[in-house]
């Protein structure tokens, strides 16, 4: 659930980069750097958790939810390929934010839309299925997730 809180936080921060608020340029640059860092480094770990640790251990009852979530991962990846260069540009040149604002706002709105559906489905279907797994299997999943994060540099 902590990952979901972070996904929602950074998606909302990305949306604010697309708004017409009068934030000082250094704050805008820092926000853009944080969004890039999160979506390039942390989000792939969350996807790996689902694809590598959860999916193989869940039964056919979750197959539909898992297939939909995998498709959403691909859509999120495509969207991030468009947004990350924009966020990098704003991080490097926050004065250029105005020109990028419409694409930033539209892209972040779409990202939030996808994540809202993705996270809701995961919270409603996947989390309860994981909670029903034996304690030793839950521990294996947690150990794998923790190991992924400790193996990530930085």
pLDDT tens string 54-86: 988 988 888 888 888 888 999 999 999 999 999
d(CA 47, CA 39): 11
Helix and strand element counts for the chain (H, E): 7, 0
Q: What does pTM read for this prediction?
A: 0.88
Number of domains in the chain: 1
User: What's the pLDDT band for 152 if we cut at 50, 70, 90?
Assistant: low
pLDDT at residue 60 in the model: 85
Cβ-defined contacts of 60-67 (< 8 Å, 24+)? 61/129, 62/125, 62/126, 62/129, 65/121, 65/122, 65/125, 65/126, 66/126
User: What's the pLDDT band for 1 if we cut at 50, 70, 90?
Assistant: confident
User: What's the pLDDT band for 151 if we cut at 50, 70, 90?
Assistant: confident
Range of the domain at 92: 2-150
Q: Which residues make Cβ contacts (< 8 Å) with residue 114, sequence separation at least 6? A: 72, 75, 76, 79
Q: Domain of 28: which CATH number?
A: 1.20.120.520
pLDDT at residue 96 in the model: 86
How far, CA to CA in Å, does 102 sit from each of 98, 108, 118, 136?
Answer: 8, 10, 24, 48
d(CA 113, CA 128): 23
pLDDT at residue 153 is higher than 70? no
d(CA 18, CA 95): 13
Q: How many CB atoms lie within 10 A of CB 25?
A: 12
pLDDT tens string 88-138: 999 999 998 989 999 999 999 999 999 999 999 999 989 999 999 999 999
Nearest to 14 by CA among 64, 96, 74, 88: 88
pLDDT at residue 62 in the model: 86
User: What is the DSSP secondary-structure string of 72-141?
Assistant: HHHHHHHHHHHHHHHHHHHHH-GGGHHHHHHHHHHHHHHHHHHHHHHHHHIIIIIHHHHHTS-HHHHHHH
């Amino acid at each position: 659930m902590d990952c979901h809180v972070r996904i929602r936080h950074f998606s909302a921060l990305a949306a604010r980069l697309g708004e017409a608020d009068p934030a000082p340029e250094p704050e805008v640059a820092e926000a853009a750097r944080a969004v890039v860092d999160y979506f390039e480094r942390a989000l792939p770990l969350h996807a790996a958790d689902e694809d590598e640790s959860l999916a193989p251990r869940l039964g056919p009852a979750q197959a539909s939810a898992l297939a939909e979530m995998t498709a959403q991962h691909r859509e999120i990846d495509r969207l991030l390929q468009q947004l990350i260069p924009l966020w990098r540009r704003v991080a490097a040149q926050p004065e250029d934010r105005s020109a990028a604002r419409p694409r930033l706002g539209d892209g972040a709105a779409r990202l939030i839309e996808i994540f809202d559906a993705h996270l809701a489905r995961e919270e409603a279907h996947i989390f309860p299925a994981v909670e029903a797994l034996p304690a030793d299997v839950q521990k294996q999943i947690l150990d794998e997730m923790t190991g992924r994060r400790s193996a990530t540099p930085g």
